[in-house]
Amino acid sequence: MRPDSPGHRLGGGRDRPPQPREITVAGMIRKLLISGVATKLVQEARKPENQAKIKKAIADFQRKRSQGRRP
């Protein structure tokens, strides 16, 4: 197929749909990656200096949001 033809797919160049095993492995890797990021986020959020930063960011956001509603 030519690159400018309507049926052309960019990327792998495979003409077959992904097999169930490929979908399962890709999904599992994605979930592991998300789980690792979430774990690191929780660990960082437990630190006192980061808790102070989070509280300040929330307060700033709430303040800006309430100021935006006043005429």
The tens-digit pLDDT sequence of the chain (71 residues) is 555 555 555 555 567 676 777 778 888 999 999 999 999 999 999 999 999 999 999 999 999 999 876 55
- Name the residue ranges covered by the structural domains of the chain: 20-69
Structure tokens at 20: 């169930």
Distances in Å between the alpha carbon of 63 and those of 2, 15, 44, 49, 50? 55, 54, 25, 21, 20
Cite the DSSP H helix spans in the chain: 20-45, 48-69
pTM passes above 0.75 = no
For the CA atoms of 53, 59, 60, 65, what is the dihedral angle to 10 degrees? Answer: 150
